[in-house]
Amino acid sequence: MRIDEYVGFDGLGLAALIRGGEVSAAELLDTALAQAVATDGLGAVVDVQEAVARASIAAGLPAGAFTGVPFLLKDLGCEAIDFPTSMGSGLFREHRYGYDSELYTRLRAAGLVTFGRTASPELGIGPTTEAKVYGRPTRNPWQQQHIAGGSSGGSAAAVAAGVTPVAHGSDGGGSVRIPASSCGLFGMKPTRALLPDGPASGEGWAGMAIDGFLTRSVRDTAALLDATVGPDLGAPYYAPALPGTFTEALARPPRRLRIAVSTRSFTGAAIHADCVAAVEHTARLCEALGHELVPVDPSIDIVRFMHAWSSIVACGTQLAVRSGQAALGRPATTDDTERVTRLACELGATISGADYLESIDVVHALGREMARFLSPTGPSYDMLLTATLGEPPAELGRFCSDRADGWTDFLDYRLNHVLHYSPFTALANGTGQPAMSVPLWWNDDGLPVGTHLMARAGDDLTLLQLAAQLEQADPWFARRPSL
């Protein structure tokens, strides 16, 4: 199949071609592998296991929504025996798992043909994907001197570049939605615990991290969520039960929604004019669709929240480094880890058990505050609309975690540098609410600028219904970077 034909279909569209006998899974894999080579300069795909993929096709693929569709895993999480990982770190270079995660098992049952992994920043920290373990940064397919976002930047760049129609990501502070915004894709973070974390763990970063997907169509995200939704055996938390499937929900429009909209950062600071324009465009679309838009300036102590978020992430990073050192049988060196990782570990070493629990309490308190904000009995808002980022995609190097200059410690990095750039997405990780980045705006420089919507916990179906409405009102699928 020619690449111009291949990129004309989403994942479900390609699966339909296979079912109709118009193309084979092997032919689609050939196209995906060729496109991975053709776009290798982006630094998106970092490990290819072609033999594993061909063996899975030869053995007979499961019958699922995506049977025969090429797929990529982020190089962080989604543990799979056949797919080694570095987690973006020299500390875990070519690490092999002895088990398959429940998420990967469900993805495989959906018929996806996984053939490799995509770049991640070291241990998933940061809004850019420039890990030194890969020897090069991941570039934005729209303009290659800009970042693809993080931490699922490799997956976003691969999907935007047409290597695969869909790819795995994960999100602990915006790591699906930031790269979705940066690369002109649709990205959604589901309600906390909606997807399985096992068997390795019950939660990531005190429940703030969850898996997700990078796609070019809303219906692909719906079908991927349908294939993976639900707790795994022994899960410590359960998300609210959904009243039906995501795919079924897309057949109906959402109820008339009352949407709070803000064009300022949660700190009260102004955001970039391109991001304001993106929000205003999305607001006009929502109004044209019959929804009510209410201007607000939410009173959120985002700085206090990010202090707590940073403490939790620092402790999680410290644990990951400890695990890597145990596997290596020696302490980590500066060749094994990057500077921001070391700064996170330094902060983690100062946090007591009581401090850690206090940070969780701060995060939970804000979760209750946002639940009241989006409660039918509170101000009666169904969703909150903001920009996804405070600026268009940054230039490479600005947030590179191995920089020797630019920040003094981990809190300085997060609060004085990253927070201005990404002031919105981490909130939904702390509150556990579903949130999405929708690609409806490109600036005059040709860079995508996403808009962000957060809904009530458990109201994932409504969120996706609104995404489908927006996709139909202002289609983005045909917009592709000129590589």
Coil, strand or helix: which one is 117?
A: strand
Residue type, 107: L
In DSSP terms, which residues pair with 437 in a beta bridge? 187, 452
State how far the Cα of 165 lies from the Cα of 220, in Å rounded to an integer.
9
Active site residue 217: no
C-alpha separations of 442 from 232, 251, 404, 438 in Å: 39, 28, 33, 12
DSSP element (H, E) containing 367: helix 353-373
State how far the Cα of 186 lies from the Cα of 10, in Å rounded to an integer.
12
Least Cα distance to 258 among 295, 293, 307, 212 occurs for 293
- Catalytic residue chosen out of the listed positions 151, 152, 181, 437: 151
- Catalytic residue chosen out of the listed positions 56, 120, 175, 265: 175
| 8 Å CB contact between 324 and 345 | no
Task: Convert 274-310 to b/e letters by CB count within 10 Å (16 or more is b).
Answer: bbebbbeebbebbeebebebeebebebebeebbebbb
State how far the Cα of 132 lies from the Cα of 23, in Å rounded to an integer.
39
Tokens of 473: 């009102």
Coil, strand or helix: which one is 188?
A: strand
Active site residue 74: yes
Catalytic center residues: 74, 151, 175
